[in-house]
Amino acid sequence: MTVAPIYRRVLLKVSGESLMGKQGFGIDVEVADRIAGDIKDATDMGVQVAVVIGGGNIFRGVAVASKGGDRVTGDHMGMLATVINSLALRTSLVKKGVDAVVLSAIAMPQLCESFSQRKAMWNIEQGRVVIFAGGTGNPYFTTDSAAALRAAEIGADALFKGTQVDGIYSADPKRVPDAERFPVITHDEVLARGLSVMDVAAIALTRENHIPIVVFSIHERGGFRQILQGGGHATLVTEKMAS
């Protein structure tokens, strides 16, 4: 018996680092194909999916700034890295028979279409997976902030953050074995505790637009589908705790 999804439209945020797999740099095609397969599972259930991918597997603008380089130029280079990752994921989706389009916040018509909210909504309504590339198109904003912004613009029911662990912990569980795991937590508590789930701007933007955040492991095959159906392992960031 197929369980109906509890979300109609979602924004999936994937870190660039997750595309590396066990490599130290670049894109592991097998990982991209697996993530594409999880997205296909969601679309097969009738869920509308949009995606934002980071660029940390290729380039991080903050790394340039930390060594005395120009932050603006570094961030622009990082935006280009997200375009590379977005094109790679689109290729994996197409291989699996999923219609997908890349919309970039930075105009590069030879490679992909330019972003507009109207174009994004049209493609989503046509049943395509929309991949948002180029961050917000502005320096000093992370791809987490871009994900929160795009989630608001498309009216997403939730923002799914695929991470290296299966939820939000009080500390890095890889370093602190007895770190507390939160099954549910509020946006305000995430900010008050200074938990490194997403940057402050992204948390604030989702809170202001009443968008829950679902934090789960991007490496758990089939986990995305299970959570969409109300199961699986994840942390829900919401406005109010259930009484």
Q: What is the pLDDT of residue 76?
A: 92
Q: What is the pLDDT of residue 240?
A: 75
The answer to whether 213 and 206 are in contact (CB under 8 A) is yes
The answer to whether 35 and 16 are in contact (CB under 8 A) is no
Q: What is the pLDDT of residue 23?
A: 86
Task: Name which of 236, 232, 237 is nearest 5 in CA terms.
Answer: 232
Q: What is the pLDDT of residue 70?
A: 85
Burial state string for 1-27 with b = 16 or more CB within 10 A and e = fewer than 16 = eeeebebeebbbbbbbbbbbbeeeeeb
Confidence (pTM): 0.94
Say which DSSP state 209 is in: T
Q: What is the pLDDT of residue 241?
A: 65
Residues 49, 51: Cα–Cα separation, whole Å: 7
Place of tokens 């989630």: 151
Q: What is the CATH number of domain 9-238?
A: 3.40.1160.10
The answer to whether 198 and 160 are in contact (CB under 8 A) is no
Q: What is the pLDDT of residue 239?
A: 87
Task: Name which of 237, 220, 168, 227 is nearest 7 in CA terms.
Answer: 227
Q: What is the pLDDT of residue 164?
A: 86
Which residues of the chain are modeled with pLDDT < 50? 243
Q: How many CB atoms lie within 10 A of CB 198?
A: 25
